[in-house]
Amino acid sequence: MKHINLIIIALLFTGSVCLAQVKKHSIIGVWQVGTAQMADAWLANYRFYKNGTFKYTLNEYDDLSRIRQAKGTFKLKGDTLTLIIKSRIEEVGGDLVQGSPGFQAEELVLDDTKTVAVKQKNVEPIHFVLEWHTGKSSISFQIQNNRYYIVSRDPNFEDN
């Protein structure tokens, strides 16, 4: 019986140490959806800066989306991430043309667009509960259905 109690105490202690280590992780840096592996373009990613600002860039492989990036401020309190979107970057105009076979995923893509900044009218805070994950060689967090992996602790790393 003592042996089982010691095992339970050891498991509880180990679990609390692991939880404490996860909570220590800083969100500052670049976090990419689905993988920490880099390719020739970025997947959707967050960049969190020490000054409390963030950028969320949509998947660069998506050549049809007109919204390219959201910018604003963030706060992380416990496991709750609060975002306030202040502006976004959009593509306007342009034409639908044939995508490059073997390079672009879609057969039709937007071409010859102009990039504009759009001020956000609704600045209501958006709250997400983060679920942190640590592995042998990776740190990630999950927001709703998406898991983001740390790519760099430097939010300016290969800024897009």
* Residue from 52, 90, 45, 89 nearest 72 by CA: 52
pLDDT at residue 4 in the model:
52
- Whole-prediction pTM value? 0.80
Cβ-contact 115, 69 below 8 angstroms: no
- The domains found in the chain, sorted by start residue, are 27-152 (2.40.128)
* Residue from 40, 51, 72, 52 nearest 160 by CA: 40
pLDDT at residue 100 in the model:
84
Per-residue pLDDT of the chain (160 residues; tens, 9 = 90+): 554 544 445 444 444 433 334 345 699 999 999 999 988 889 999 999 999 999 999 999 888 899 999 999 999 999 999 999 999 999 999 999 998 887 777 889 999 999 999 999 999 999 999 999 998 888 999 999 999 999 999 999 998 6
pLDDT at residue 56 in the model:
98
Cα–Cα distances (Å) from 1 to 6, 8, 155, in that order, read 9, 11, 51
